[in-house]
A and B are shown apart, each in its own frame.
Chain A
C-alpha cells in the first residue's frame, strides 16, 4: 500500500517490560516489536495494561524491569517524559488532557516547545531570532490545525471545542512535537460513526507522511480495519500478536474477550 515506507526495519522494540502496582501485576514480561511506518494496534479487555504500557513508553511511569529500543537508542524504562518526547514519542490521552483554558493555537504551540529554543532572554528582548522562531511556531501550529481539520477561530479556548475536535486537537498537539511514533490512547472512544470514519482517514494520511502509529482501541471493527498488525494484552500479558486476520480467529483472544464456550467454536471476534 505504501511501498516507499521501510516496513521491514524496526522502530520500537520492547523487551520484557514488567510493571507492578503493589501486588497487582499490570504488565508482565511484555515484548513488542513495531516497524517503521506501520499502524500497530494494541487491544485487550479493560485492565489489561494497555495504558500502563503507554505510560511507560512516554516516561510517566517507570518500568520495574525490561527495556525498550526506540530508533536504535536503548531506554531502560525510567527515562524522563521530556527526554522520550524529544526522542520522538508523542501521545494522546484516554481521557482527553488538553490545556483547557488556553486557545487552540496555544495548545498546538506548546507542542512546539521542544523543537524551539528561545528562553527568557529571547522573550525579554524579542530579538530577531526569537521573533522569527515565534512566527514559525505560529505558522506551524496554524497549518497543523487545518491539517487535522479544525476550522475554528484560533482564539477559541480548547475547552469550547466539541468532543471530536478535542481529540483532533490532541493529535495536532502531539504532531507538533514532530514525532517518529504517535501513540494514541483510544482515539475514537465516544465518537459517532462519521467522526470515526474521518479520524480513520486522518490517521491514514498521518501514516502516509511516514509517522508510525501505535493505537489502543476498544472499537474492534475500527482497529481490525486500520491496523497492519496488532497485539492483544490480557492481565498484563501479551497473548497474541500478528495480522488482524490471524488475531480475529485466535482462540485465546476470543476467550479473553468473550469467555470460554462449552461447545468448541468456529467463530471470530
Chain B
C-alpha cells in the first residue's frame, strides 16, 4: 500500500516545482506554454467525453470554449462596463457553455457519424461568425477587433497578474496561473475519472459501442447523449473562462475550425476514451509545435549554414508529418484505453478488492 502513495507524492512534488524548473532551464516562455497546455488538456478531456466515451464526433467543440471565453470577457471588461468577481463569472461561463451544449445536442440527437460531424462543424462556425458580427447594430462583442483589457483573475486579495515574492521565490503571473490551471485540470481529471467508472460512463460507452443494443437495454439515448454534450461543453466553457482571464484579450480568430481540429487531434492521437492518453496527446500537441518552432531554425543553421525553410511553415509541415506517422503506426492512439492485457491475469482479485473498498 506504500507504493501508490509514494507515486502520488512524487508526482505532486514534480508538479509543484515544474514551473520554477522550466523557468530556470528554458525560460519563462515555456511556463506560459505549459499554462496553455493545461487549457488544452481541459478542452481535450471535455471533448473526450463527447467523442471518446459517447462516440459522438463533434467538430465544433471550440464553440464552447468561445462561449466560456466571451462570457468571461463581457462580464469582466470595459466592453459592457461590468466587473464581476472571478468565482461568479467562471461558473457562469461554464453553465452558459453547458446550455449551448444542450442546444447543440437536442436537434442532433438522431444524427450519427459524418452527419453529426457536419452539423457540429456548422455550429462551431456559426458561433464564431456571430462573435465576429455582433458589433452592429448594437456593439456587444466588438466584432473582429475582439475584447481587450479583460480584468485579470483575482482570487481574494491576490491578483494573478502581479508578481509576488514569497520566501525568496518569485511568483510571476505565469507561475500563478500555472497553479490555478493545475488545480482546475486536476479537478477536470477527477471528474472524468469518476464519470468513466460510473453508471453514466458505462451508458456513454454502451451507446458508442452499439446504440441499438444500448436502447434495448433500457438506456434513454436522448438523455444520455445530451448529458455527454452538456458535460463536454461545461469543461470547454470552464477552459474558455480561464483562457480569457489569462490572455486578457479574446477575438473570434482564436476559435477557428483549426482549433477544434487541434483539440480533436489531441483526443485521437492520445487514445480516445483514455484519460491518460488524452493527457499525453494534449501535452504533445502543445509542446511539439513549440519545440519545432524554436528548434527548426537553429537546426537548419547548424546543418546548412543558413535558414532554408521558414521555421514557422516548417513546423506545421513536420507537425502534420508526425501526426501521419503516429496514426499509421498507432491507429488506436499512443495510449489506447483497451490495453487491459495486464489486467486480464489479476482480474478476479481486482474486482473483489473493489468490492471491499467500496
Contact = CB atoms under 8 A, between A and B. Distances in A.
Contacts of A81: 215-216, 218
B219 A114 contact: yes
B217 A173 contact: yes
B210 A113 contact: no
Question: Chain B interface: which size bin?
Answer: 35 or more
Contacts of A135: 355, 358
Contact of A124 (B195, B343, B358): B195
Contact of B194 (A82, A101, A124, A138): A124
Contacts of A174: 217
Interface in B219-242: 219-221, 227, 231
B199 A113 contact: yes
A80 interface: yes
B340 A118 contact: no
A123 B212 CA distance: 25
B338 interface: yes
A111 B216 CA distance: 9
A109 B213 contact: no
B354 interface: yes
Interface in B193-210: 194-195, 198-203, 205-206, 209-210
Contact of A106 (B200, B202, B218, B227): B202
B302 to A, nearest CB: 46
A74 interface: no
B149 to A, nearest CB: 36
Interface residues of A, number: 53
B351 A105 contact: yes
B217 A60 contact: no
A156 to B, nearest CB: 7
Contact of A155 (B214, B217, B347, B355): B347
B347 A154 contact: yes
B340 A103 contact: yes
Contacts of A100: 209-210
A155 B338 CA distance: 10
A206 interface: no
Interface stretch (A23-31, A44-52, A91-99, A236-244): A91-99
Given A82-B218, A98-B213, A113 B355 contact: no
Contacts of A80: 215, 220
Contact of A123 (B195, B215, B220, B354): B195
A7 interface: no
28 contacts: A59-B215, A82-B219, A85-B216, A93-B216, A98-B213, A99-B210, A102-B209, A103-B340, A106-B202, A110-B203, A110-B217, A111-B217, A113-B202, A113-B218, A113-B219, A116-B199, A118-B200, A122-B199, A123-B198, A124-B194, A126-B194, A131-B358, A133-B199, A134-B358, A138-B351, A153-B345, A153-B348, A154-B348
Interface of A: 58-60, 80-82, 85-86, 90-91, 93, 97-103, 105-106, 109-114, 116, 118-120, 122-124, 126, 130-135, 137-139, 142, 153-157, 173-174, 176-177
Given A99-B205, A153-B347, 20 more contacts: A58-B216, A59-B216, A60-B215, A80-B220, A81-B215, A85-B215, A85-B217, A91-B216, A101-B209, A119-B199, A122-B199, A123-B195, A132-B358, A142-B351, A154-B348, A155-B340, A155-B343, A155-B347, A173-B217, A177-B217
